[in-house]
Structure 1
């Protein structure tokens, strides 16, 4: 048995993946399941206790990289943005500025929800928040289900690629690619996807005006509109725009941009007199909780990648996959399909932990640019979360949707926005320069 495990790459892969699947199946947290599999793999493939010690040292070394600094700072930005009420100010400001625009709450959900989701780094948390906050409001205004649920499910796809995206920083760190390059690569595709979402909502309101009926709002003069824009919208959006612009211009690194962003949100909260001690405690606790999980993921991924390489599983799997003589785009389609399938059962960070050590070496063999492939992977991860019948966000939405909402309604609401993301993937495949400038 031991000879088979150590003498053939299939045995090594079966041991590592099998251990993870079994431990996850019995309810162990993903990060701990990977850590346990890594300890077992190091014992078998790297020489017992000495191998485990070497594995732990290598994992600790992976946590000391400077590229991880943006993660807690971007998460802190999002937590402060939420707990101080700055997010609600932005939502309400955009809502009042749009006036009697048909479907305006759907637009508000896309624009405001993307800002929050981008900073929070958690699609599931953002979906739960927006679902409980916006859907009842739209239901009360007479919106049909697809106009209230669809945009919320769509915001995750936008948030995951528009900087500052904590998930993009984590993927870049795991894949050992330039963090700033990946963040900047998401700007133009993110704007294209936002345009596709807006066009989708506009078409839906044109086809069925009763899907999002207009309702009376207090009239506002141009002076009042300008004041509202400057006071409640521009400062919040401005923080994100400024840190992205500074990164694109090369003035700051991603770590410095994250620090300036967190400082900027703190200053805004103080200026609006909503920076309370309780909000600070909740923000730090929320950011710390997610950061610790992310660091456990990085630790597990670093050691998992080394074990795959040391045991020969990485090389064997790549040789096996390329042995089918598929065209690079066909192989990309296979990897994309695998990500969609995994997204029906696993959380995004868990999928990255499992697939990055395998997919990125394979992508390099196929000649794909690593930044471009990382962007495709981010989109695949988000699409998988909303893919019927088992996408996890669909069930999160079911949990917070109004009573009587059926899964069929949620599926139908998600489909147009999934289509928008697939159109963007097609555009990136056809025109890679959209992400590589």
Structure 2
């Protein structure tokens, strides 16, 4: 029997080699798994056993919310419902200093909760709001920063397809993890608002005040009821159904998708073009997610069979470190990986190790899942290679440098790190809501 560190090095080395030659991450894992099954599990019989177990993982009922949440977000984006909500929030904010930055956080949080896609949210907000803010004289950090920060909220606030995928890979309760992200997600959005308020006080010229037409209070109420409340209600229904156990995550996701479709017809913005584009977009990401589950399931099985995962956990826990220091080490690893890997790849690589390690350290699995999601949210904007940095570069006005994008992202990264610190000091921020509902 091969020593655990040789087995682990062999499997990880194969994955890295396949990734370096340009193979997609899901196929890199699958190819390494097939070779590993041949080596560790007795040739062709081992390969058949690994594939059977992997395809069995794809039949998990917990995966059903992923395509439905993705379809929900695609429809919200492509039918124009998202922009109706942003326009309404813009009118309701009035002449507040830094108004468009606040609109980005308030409207973007609402959009992120319904879209469930960080990259989609960032791309939409960046392409629509940044040119408008630049035209109004906003400095780059006041226009770009809030969009990247708010885009990351889609990972934490339900409905989040990435949270469903993480819960599936970690074999924890999908509904509990989704609900656990509600309080930390909205607290983080509140921290972003405080950050913008401080920035406008320190430098009023960073977001100049400009005249806007005054709107009567009665009309504001009408605009809110027409263009904001129905969109937010879709998210609220999904969360409430999960919270009170009225529906499973899959059924809640189906109601959410149906709600967005109904709103699109009600507002007469549903077209065949938007419908088919939404189906295509959701299908592409769903197929990728299912390939990832297949690769991850077989990878976890091989790690267990070869002794790689148990050996690594025994080695990690042999150090005389407190659980908090071990948690900080895990957090640091996730952030470092986020500087050169995308989030799903990080999940595939680390979940088989970190969640068993967290269980051995005595961490609540749902709380730990929220910490991992926050870490992934931070790594989305971690220089130099965070995905949202390059999404923003692609939609930002011409002449925007990567340095400006990095500088704009840093305060929001610090807010997210402060949120992680709050979760460590007050774990009930993540566990209170799921525990109360149980």
Shorter-chain TM-score: what band?
A: over 0.9
- Within 5 Å, which residues of 2 pair with 1:21-40? 21-40=16-35
CA–CA distance in structure 2, aligned partners of residues 95 and 238 of structure 1: 19
Deviation at 1:313, TM superposition (A): 0.2
Higher alpha-carbon deviation: 23-32 or 400-409 = 400-409
User: Which secondary structure state, in structure 1, belongs to the residue aligned with residue 172 of structure 2?
Assistant: coil
**Which residue of 2 is the match for residue 58 of structure 1?**
53
CA–CA distance in structure 1, aligned partners of residues 119 and 260 of structure 2: 23
CA–CA distance in structure 2, aligned partners of residues 148 and 224 of structure 1: 28
TM-score, reference length from structure 2? 0.96
Q: Is it true that 1:18 corresponds to 2:43 in the alignment?
A: no
1:414 to 386, 395, 409: 409
In the alignment, is the contact (CA less than 8 A) between 1:345 and 1:392 conserved in 2?
Answer: no
Deviation at 1:118, TM superposition (A): 3.7
Q: Is it true that 1:264 corresponds to 2:254 in the alignment?
A: no
Deviation at 1:216, TM superposition (A): 1.8
In the alignment, is the contact (CA less than 8 A) between 2:112 and 2:157 conserved in 1?
Answer: no
Deviation at 1:40, TM superposition (A): 0.7
**Which residue of 1 is the match for residue 89 of structure 2?**
94
1:365 to 352, 360, 367: 360
**Which residue of 2 is the match for residue 156 of structure 1?**
151
Provide closer, same or farther for how the CA distance between residues 119 and 40 of structure 1 changes in structure 2, counting only shifts above 3 A: farther
Q: Is it true that 1:201 corresponds to 2:196 in the alignment?
A: yes
| C-alpha distance after superposition, 1:404-431 (max 9, x if no partner) | 2233322221121111111111111011
- Within 5 Å, which residues of 2 pair with 1:320-399? 320-399=315-394
Paired residues in the alignment total 432
Provide closer, same or farther for how the CA distance between residues 120 and 28 of structure 1 changes in structure 2, counting only shifts above 3 A: farther
CA–CA distance in structure 1, aligned partners of residues 232 and 57 of structure 2: 33
CA–CA distance in structure 1, aligned partners of residues 60 and 131 of structure 2: 44
CA–CA distance in structure 2, aligned partners of residues 425 and 324 of structure 1: 24
1:171 to 166, 183, 195: 166
TM-score, reference length from structure 1? 0.96
Structure 1 spans left out of the alignment, 5+ residues? 1-5
Structure 2 spans left out of the alignment, 5+ residues? 433-438
| C-alpha distance after superposition, 1:96-121 (max 9, x if no partner) | 11121111111121222233334444
CA–CA distance in structure 1, aligned partners of residues 380 and 264 of structure 2: 33
CA–CA distance in structure 2, aligned partners of residues 79 and 28 of structure 1: 27
**Which residue of 2 is the match for residue 431 of structure 1?**
426
CA–CA distance in structure 1, aligned partners of residues 78 and 375 of structure 2: 30
**Which residue of 1 is the match for residue 206 of structure 2?**
211
**Which residue of 1 is the match for residue 436 of structure 2?**
none
Q: Is it true that 1:185 corresponds to 2:185 in the alignment?
A: no
In the alignment, is the contact (CA less than 8 A) between 2:117 and 2:154 conserved in 1?
Answer: no
In the alignment, is the contact (CA less than 8 A) between 2:73 and 2:117 conserved in 1?
Answer: no
CA–CA distance in structure 2, aligned partners of residues 399 and 256 of structure 1: 36
CA–CA distance in structure 2, aligned partners of residues 387 and 71 of structure 1: 26
Deviation at 1:206, TM superposition (A): 1.5
Deviation at 1:137, TM superposition (A): 1.1
CA–CA distance in structure 2, aligned partners of residues 226 and 297 of structure 1: 45
In the alignment, is the contact (CA less than 8 A) between 2:241 and 2:247 conserved in 1?
Answer: yes
Q: Is it true that 1:141 corresponds to 2:136 in the alignment?
A: yes
**Which residue of 1 is the match for residue 435 of structure 2?**
none
| C-alpha distance after superposition, 1:97-152 (max 9, x if no partner) | 11211111111212222333344443233323322221111101110100001101
CA–CA distance in structure 2, aligned partners of residues 395 and 239 of structure 1: 30
**Which residue of 1 is the match for residue 310 of structure 2?**
315
CA–CA distance in structure 2, aligned partners of residues 434 and 392 of structure 1: 28
Higher alpha-carbon deviation: 298-307 or 100-109 = 100-109
Higher alpha-carbon deviation: 409-418 or 284-293 = 409-418
2:106 to 106, 111, 114: 111
Deviation at 1:47, TM superposition (A): 1.0
